[in-house]
Structure 1
Amino acid sequence: MNRLAAFLSLVLLCPILLPRPAWAADVAARAVTIPTPEHPVEAQLFSAPGTGKRPAVILLHGRQGLDRFPGYYEQFARAVAGAGMDAYLLSYYDGTEKEQANAEDKTVRQAFFAGRVKAWSQLVHAVVTEALARKECSGSIGLLGFSQGGFLATAVAGQDPRITALAVFYGGIPGLYRDSITHLPPLLALHGDADTVVPLSEGQALVALGRKLGQPAELAVFPGAGHGFSKGPDAAKAQQLTLAFLRQYLLPARQ
């Protein structure tokens, strides 16, 4: 068993290893405007408690956008901040992009993503630059992507060496990048084995690529889970594993 797998197994056996997060009442969010090549991006910044330097994690939503599951995304961002890492929660859509990304025809949706993933990647690169420029940033950056956002996070991490850790919920490798990614940071992929939207094979391929490129990469499989486990025991376990993984690679001195 590799070091990452052993650590995550230990976390599940001994959850006390992960400090209790400062939940909603303790973590404040504030709006920040970030300049990007295409248009300014409005983000919510959930700052970790304290005044010392800390890493940042950028959360990337799924195809349905932030407003489909706002409570889930905000709760996750607060949990990240409570675990000692600043969390940026933003929408990478502009104008009518949400409607186009959610077209009824799957082929149309896939073509739209393929046509926009490079521009969205540049937007996320700009957010990374902004996060790193803040005086409170330690210099470590994590990406946390959900579904379409997981594919986008993989695209960004595969092109941007500044990314320190990558966590992907039910995502995979974007088609445009399957043959061009030559680097990935340490990776945690989380996937349900009953997912009919993004098959488990996509997560398996992503982890295989991470290992091929010489980085720690682990796949957490949720038996019987479909696409998007945002409630119940699976959601709690997934969040626990993700926070432990991010802390391991973004806050190594504090483990």
Structure 2
Amino acid sequence: MEGISQLARKQSDALWQKSFKHPFVQGIKHGTLGLDSFRHYIKQDAYYVREFAKLHGMAAAQTDDAAAVSKLLKIGNGLAEGELQLHQSVFQALGISDQEWEAFRPAPDAYAYISHLYHVVSRGKLGYTLAALMPCPWLYYEIGLQLKDAQPQAKIFQDWIAEYSSEDIEKNVLIERALWDEASKDASDAECHDMTHIFLQSSYYELRFWQMGATLSDWPEQEKGEDVHDFYSSID
């Protein structure tokens, strides 16, 4: 019998195919993506990963299984240490200063995605939480595998591909899939439907993330001295 993770992956395939074929992802593969788009994306992703690591700590608090707690905390720590180190090296390569990062505010799509994750996690059910968290590492790993033989000239693209096609990413995906399947083995049909829907929602936000990078989507800029009320009232 298939676990919830495999069922959700099958149902999300059409959406994932759009991520695989998205111009942003293909631009990394072929080395044609503009650095301004990658720069915008990396800042949003660094914000996302920071929160994603915290969310793993919250997930660990939703189970009394010591082994599961240990695995989730280890993955969270790895995210906080390893992936953010990659972002820091890319920050240097792209000229993103400490001052720029301190002034950073997440763009609407990044903010909405993280808000979605916190909303699901607040329900306090590990199966639901993993349904929300799983698409990110799993989709990135599949993208990494598809791009692993690509040879874009820019080193930052090479490093990005290497990170997401690594054995460490594969290992974490397999661990979290097993945890999700185990946490959901006694779930009702209605709960399985809810978890699959959550998985699809996160998968949709992944697609929006690429689009955000490709289009440099962000909040409108507030003019210096402009009244906050007037600023937001003027947004179309």
- Same fold at TM > 0.5: no
Q: Which of the two has greater strand per residue? A: 1
TM-score (norm 2): 0.30
Q: Which of the two has greater helix per residue? A: 2
Report the structure number with the largest CA radius of gyration.
Answer: 2
